[in-house]
Structure 1
């Protein structure tokens, strides 16, 4: 899946055209997510991601059949462009979403059920001068590229499973618009809206058969992880306050030494 916020200049990887392309291990690819305040995660990532990030769902339009769509995201910040997990040139969290770890590579549907490996041509960790070659002298993918291809292939499978799962949750009316309100220690307040969360009342009103179906499909487990993850909203606020305090302390220290 090509993510427009991440893959700024997506290009299909071609073994002839890009035979001399190299991957630079000395450049942190996660810098591409420095300005993201939320990012897609697949259902298979919920168990790890819920320990660190709030997980919410975003409406994503309708498919060709008019079916409403939604996608889950891990929340990194409370304002547009704010990533509270990117600090001092590194990702400050135990878990990083799979699509970010795969950057600058991804898969894109080209025709029917056919997919092609793509990459972000603007990625700073790609070069024709430095790094590990993607192809050997005969133009064949090196083992590293084969492993990356398998990684994004499996991720694409999980993305489709997640999409279908979200369709089912919407059909059942379990995902509804919500707003998050908070008051900071200085008395100021803010609100975050535009996302979807679980409607617990509707979940509790499902029949035993519907609940059993959700359980067998794994969707009930995802909803539980989603609920657990919401406790991390307070952690985001604390991160923001700590960063603001650090900025204030640095400014005072600079003024005192001037």
Structure 2
């Protein structure tokens, strides 16, 4: 269970956060939310797939790390083998909360997160001022929150132009086993190519065309994910 609290320099003066990587710090995950604003930064390392939450009818983008829950093929002991980290991973254990009336947005921290550690980086100095580590974390958290708030407009545009298609990926690995990714969507490249100039211009003016191209480009990393799985299995 998460234990969220608003970050407070008095209550959390001596709190420390571990910034090393590893499964023991919560990094053993199959995917993480990625926002369109960061597609260009993460597309070189990860396949970006879209998933629909049927309860909310909201699409989210996911940077994929593996084929099954708890599998992170980019994680090698205490090393994360990629050039960039999705913001949703990089900001942990911080998160955005709101006041009880849903008003001002605040920086919260999950006090039960495994990154809370005695040997980690301090969040506040002896005078209660935020450390550079905390200031950097808050900046990333704000970028993630802004991107998350803007993401529905991106997916609304994809739906408006009928640019989403379901993806079912079935991969036969070197050892003969089969891995599947089911329930995800990708941009329909054929329909994107068929859009008229007015529609493409609209997507460009709204700032959606670049993340669309970045999401498409990221799909080349699916073959790399398969290679990582084969190496993890000792067959590559």
Which TM-score bucket, shorter chain as reference? 0.7 to 0.9
| Deviation of the 1:40 alpha carbon | 0.8
Q: Which residue of 2 aligns with 1:118?
A: 108
Give 1:251's aligned residue: none
Give the whole-Å Cα distance in 1 for the aligned partners of 2:53 and 2:21.
30
| Structure 1 residue 198, shift from structure 2 partner | 1.2
Are residue 58 (structure 1) and residue 51 (structure 2) matched? yes
Aligned residue in 2 for 1:196 = 185
Pairs within 5 Å for 1:1-258: 8-24=2-18, 27-28=20-21, 31-61=24-54, 68-110=57-99, 111-127=101-117, 130-245=119-234
Cα distance change, pair 194–126 in 1 and its aligned pair in 2 (3 A) = same
Shift of 1:132: 4.2
* Residues 130-165 of structure 1, C-alpha deviations (whole Å, 9 max, x = no match): 544323445443444233223311221122122321
Change (3 A) 1:197 1:113: farther
Structure-2 separation of matches of 1:29 and 1:119? 19
Distance in 2 separating the partners of 1:121 and 1:94: 28
* Aligned-residue offset at 1:10: 2.8
- Matched pairs, number: 235
Indicate the larger mover: 134-143 or 33-42.
134-143
Q: How well do the aligned residues superpose, as a CA RMSD in angstroms?
A: 2.6
Structure 1 length-normalised TM: 0.79
**Aligned counterparts of 1:30 and 1:190: Cα–Cα separation in 2:** 22
Per mean C-alpha deviation after superposition, the further-off stretch among 47-56 and 185-194 is: 185-194
Higher Rg of the two aligned structures = 1
What's the CA shift for 1:30? 7.5
Seen in structure 2, the aligned counterparts of structure 1 residues 122 and 77 have a Cα distance that, compared at 3 Å, is same
Q: Secondary structure at the match of 1:182?
A: strand
Please give the TM-score of this superposition, normalised by the length of structure 2. 0.86
Task: Name the stretch that deviates more: 28-37 or 11-20.
Answer: 28-37
Does the 8 A contact of 1:28 with 1:125 survive in 2?
A: no
What are structure 1's unaligned runs of at least 5 residues?
1-6, 248-258
Contact persistence 2:45–2:221 (CA under 8 A): yes
- CA distance in 2 between partners of 1:42 and 1:165 (Å): 10
Q: Runs (4+) of structure 1 moved beyond 4 Å?
A: 129-132
